[in-house]
Structure 1
Amino acid sequence: MEENQPVSQTFSTPTLPAGESMQPTGSRKAPIGWIIGLVVVLAVIITGVVLLLRADNDTTARVRDVFIIFMALESLVIGVALVILIVQLATLINLLNNEIRPIIHATNDTVNTIKGTVVFLSDNLSEPVIKLNETLAAIAKFFQIVWPRKR
């Protein structure tokens, strides 16, 4: 084995799969897109309000009727969503009562069994070994006091 030889290390740059770059993707594009979309929606609403203020009564009444129908349909959709939510909540409660609770009880029984095992091992294995070590240490100390080593 030769000493004082320079060690050469070659480092290669990792290659990325096709179509991927090291730049974060979409981190700045998403908020800008949301802001632009919000501005466009706000502009459409303001334009619609201005046009409705200038329109005659028949047009305004027609738009009002369409808006009332739209709100009724939206209320219907919200009602259906609430019914689905209540059904899902009932399913979750059923799952908790019939599947999770037995698992918790079985886990609790297992923990209690382990506690009993630990107490048994402590009483029948650890404590006798500790007492034996105490006794042996006391006997060894006794013999050191009675027959000290000469130095």
Structure 2
Amino acid sequence: MEENQPVSQTFSTQPLPAGESMQPSESGSRKAPVGLIIGLVVVLAVIITGVVLLLRADNDTTARVRDVFIIFMALESLVIGVALVILIVQLATLINLLNNEIRPIIHATNDTVNTIKGTVVFLSDNLSEPVIKLNETMAAIAKFFQIVWPRRR
């Protein structure tokens, strides 16, 4: 008895709100590129409009806009410098963590593995091999007695 319906499908007895249908909606993966393209077109239009207005403006306005952009570039350089300093500090912290905490853990783990190897070799030599040899001997003796004195049925 096989069911042909998928397990994840659920049915509702509730009526749909007005304006909604049972059709699958457009996925978000198609909406994102369209929104991105529209945003890029708007930004490009603003840049072109700004360039046209600056070309038609007098020298004082152009000089002010130039000065404002120079100030913004200086602030951006300052922010990037601070971000690089923070990145270097975080990298130094990571290197310190690796050297002082992770490396000792790795050495301790390596020592533990070597101890376990020694224990396994010891148990193999002193427990497993003698038991295996005893089982071999007992099987040989049992087979010998079966051959010498066979059971009669």
**TM bucket by the smaller chain?**
0.7 to 0.9
Q: Which deviations, in whole Å up to 9, do the C-alpha atoms of 1:113-151 show, x marking residues without a partner? A: 211111111111111111111111111222223233446
Compute the TM-score of the two structures, normalised by the length of structure 1: 0.74
The percent identity for this pair of structures is 95
Greater shift after overlay, 63-72 or 15-24?
15-24
Greater shift after overlay, 33-42 or 113-122?
33-42
Greater shift after overlay, 41-50 or 88-97?
41-50
Greater shift after overlay, 117-126 or 49-58?
49-58
> Aligned to 1:27, what secondary structure does the other structure show?
helix
| Moved beyond 6 Å, runs of 4+ | 1-25
Equivalent residues, number? 151
Call closer, same or farther: CA 1:41–1:122 in 2, change over 3 Å. Answer: same
Structure 2 CA distance, aligned partners of 1:42 and 1:6? Answer: 48
Greater shift after overlay, 24-33 or 97-106?
24-33
Compute the TM-score of the two structures, normalised by the length of structure 2: 0.73
2:11 corresponding residue in structure 1: 11
Offset of 1:12 from its aligned partner? 9.3
Structure 2 CA distance, aligned partners of 1:8 and 1:65? Answer: 61
Gaps of 5+ in 1: none
Alignment partner of 1:45 out of 32, 44, 47: 47
Structure 2 CA distance, aligned partners of 1:15 and 1:100? Answer: 59
Offset of 1:7 from its aligned partner? 20
Structure 2 CA distance, aligned partners of 1:46 and 1:96? Answer: 51
Q: Which deviations, in whole Å up to 9, do the C-alpha atoms of 1:25-82 show, x marking residues without a partner? A: 9555544443333222222112112222222333222222211221111111111110
Call closer, same or farther: CA 1:8–1:82 in 2, change over 3 Å. Answer: closer
Structure 2 CA distance, aligned partners of 1:73 and 1:7? Answer: 57
Greater shift after overlay, 18-27 or 55-64?
18-27
Call closer, same or farther: CA 1:119–1:22 in 2, change over 3 Å. Answer: farther
Offset of 1:93 from its aligned partner? 0.7
Greater shift after overlay, 54-63 or 99-108?
54-63
Call closer, same or farther: CA 1:6–1:106 in 2, change over 3 Å. Answer: closer
